[in-house]
Amino acid sequence: MNILILGSGGREHAFAVKLHQSPLCDTLYIAPGNGGTHTVATNVAISPTDFPALKAFVLERQIAIVVVGPEDPLVQGVYDFFTADPALARVQVIGPSQQGATLEGSKEFAKEFMVRHHIPTAKYASFTKDTVEEGCAFLSTMKAPYVLKADGLAAGKGVVILDNLTEAQAELRRMLINEKFGKASTKVVIEEFLNGIELSCFVLTDGVDYKILPTAKDYKRIGEGDTGLNTGGMGAVSPVPFADEAFMQKIEERIVKPTIVGLHKEGIVYKGFVFIGLIKVDGEPYVIEYNVRMGDPETEAVLPRIESDLIPLFQSLYNATLASQELKVTPQSATTVVMVSGGYPEDYQKGKEITGTEKAVGSTVYHAGTALKDGKLLTAGGRVLAITSLGDDFKEALQRSYDNISKIQFEGAYWRKDIGKDL
């Protein structure tokens, strides 16, 4: 069968490598892809949110499965667009309906969902322009640090954590009155601060049953020792050593099951990935956020550990037979280290030549922000490459990733040297 992946990052490259290995995959396309994806798929110059153009392409190339990488097309309703169109009835979109995608598209919706289903999460209240003064008063009843979250999608920048009350109140006004994050911050969720260690749990669901995929830990800050600005993610380790069986049991019983049952009970159509951002506080799991897609760079550490073919798993979502499928995972550890452009996550330059990727041995070099121009590989984004390795433990895997990184060059390249050090 022919498959189309939507997206252009390291996550999508990892999906492309994995799907390309399947004997069930005939032709693999990726829209738009990047400077590395062409080795396993055909890059197609269509934006993942241009639904009419996607429709025309899917019909022309007889695509059977569309794997949606990023959240934007899902929040904009790509699933509903495809399922509502009789011409596309046979095409399977891997991802939730627009209503399901609201779990990521609106923090308030996600919080209300968790409250309805008794899923552990930080206490919260939400405010709008009209209730900004109540919001400021609410902040003064809370203890520092103060967690302010723009309700809508803000490209990963919508969460602000501040230590000082006056600053937090000023930030709340900036978000609500000055629309700091545009439409995304017409509503703001204020949350209790949870102090603990974070991890990501990934679930594949057909809307009734689910499979828990390997866990991963992401390193979000730009600086070593988890300092500096937030990024899309600077590296990942899978599995997460502190997520032992007893803790995973708590996650499954208190969070995964009520999430899937809650979606089903509420009639929310969901056939895709749920990415649950968790925090472990005094041994107990709490939900920080839901995402309705896989994580990036977590996918680059999670997929290489999955031994099962993804295509039968995807096909089983359609008729809700996921329960009859097997998910085989290697006990090996996987790590990924992200090389970024100097300056990222603030301003950075593009178009720098990348050399040495072919010298990496024993690791997979996933491309994120790269482009091919006149036969040269150039940087084209903040996060440029994700270097993934397997090993008997995460330290061995990390050593491989770091050994190979030292063979790859581009001007201004930066990466964190401390991935996994906290574990």
State the minimum distance, in angstroms, from the CB of residue 175 to ligand GLY: 20
The residue among 159 and 320 lying less far from ligand GLY, judged by its C-beta, is 159
Distance in Å, CB of 292 to ligand GLY, minimum = 11
Residue 199's closest CA among 213, 212, 215?
215
Alpha helix (H) residue ranges in 64-204: 71-75, 78-83, 98-105, 107-116, 132-140, 165-176
- Minimum Å gap between C-beta 147 and ligand GLY is 17
What is the closest distance, in whole angstroms, from the C-beta atom of residue 364 to ligand GLY in the complex?
18
What does the alpha-carbon distance between residue 378 and residue 370 come to, in Å, rounded to a whole number?
6
Minimum distance from residue 291 beta carbon to ligand AMP (Å): 8
Nearer to ligand GLY, 291 or 316 (CB): 291
Amino acid of residue 46: I
| Residue 319 buriedness (CB in 10 A; 0-12 / 13-18 / 19+) | exposed
Specify the residue, 147 or 398, whose C-beta has the smaller distance to ligand AMP: 147
Q: How far is the CB of 153 from ligand GLY (least distance, A)?
A: 11
Letter for the amino acid at 318?
Y
Nearer to ligand GLY, 138 or 202 (CB): 202
Nearest-CA neighbor of 421 among 381, 390, 389, 394?
Answer: 394
The structure tokens 């919001």 sit at 135
Beta carbon of residue 279, minimum distance to ligand AMP (angstroms, whole number): 7
- The residue among 198 and 418 lying less far from ligand AMP, judged by its C-beta, is 198
Question: Which of ligand AMP, ligand GLY, none sits in contact with 296, Cβ below 5 to 8 A by type?
Answer: ligand GLY
Cα separation values, 137 from 127, 305, 345, Å: 11, 48, 33
Nearer to ligand GLY, 135 or 369 (CB): 369
d(CA 75, CA 152): 10
Nearer to ligand GLY, 232 or 258 (CB): 232
**To 5 degrees, how large is the angle CA 164–CA 170–CA 173?**
140
Q: Identify what 147 binds: ligand GLY, ligand AMP, none; CB under 5 to 8 Å per kind.
A: ligand AMP
Amino acid identity at 379: T
Interacting partner of 350 out of ligand GLY, ligand AMP, none (Cβ under 5 to 8 A depending on kind): none
How far, in Å, CA of 256 to CA of 253, rounded?
6
- Tell me which of ligand GLY, ligand AMP, none is bound by residue 233, counting a contact when its beta carbon lies within the kind-specific cut-off of 5 to 8 angstroms: ligand GLY
Q: How far is the CB of 61 from ligand GLY (least distance, A)?
A: 28
**Minimum distance, C-beta of residue 123 to ligand AMP, in the bound complex (Å):** 9
Angle at 264 between CA 262 and CA 267, to 5 degrees: 110
| Residue 298 φ/ψ region, left for φ over 0, alpha for ψ in the -120 to 50 degree band, beta for the rest | alpha
Q: Which residues bind ligand GLY (CB under 6 A)?
A: 218, 232-233, 291, 295-296, 298
Binding residues for ligand AMP, rule: CB under 6 A, are 122, 147, 159, 191, 193-194, 198, 220, 277, 288-289
Binding partner of residue 193 among ligand AMP, ligand GLY, none, CB under 5 to 8 Å per kind?
Answer: ligand AMP
Question: Out of ligand GLY, ligand AMP, none, which partner does residue 264 contact, by CB within 5 to 8 A per kind?
Answer: none
Tokens of 326: 């097997």
CA distance 129 to 153: 18
420 binds, among ligand GLY, ligand AMP, none (CB under 5 to 8 A by kind): none
Cα 422 versus chain centre, distance: 22
Residue 336 burial by CB count (10 A; 0-12/13-18/19+): exposed, middle or buried?
A: buried
**The residue type at 334:** A
Specify the residue, 217 or 271, whose C-beta has the smaller distance to ligand AMP: 217
Considering the complex, state which of residue 135 and residue 285 has its C-beta at the smaller distance from ligand GLY: 285
Q: CA 339, CA 384: separation in Å to the nearest integer? A: 6
Tokens of 269: 């159509």
Select the binding partner of residue 159 from ligand AMP, ligand GLY, none (C-beta < 5 to 8 A, by kind).
ligand AMP
* Partner from ligand GLY, ligand AMP, none binding residue 194, C-beta < 5-8 Å depending on class: ligand AMP
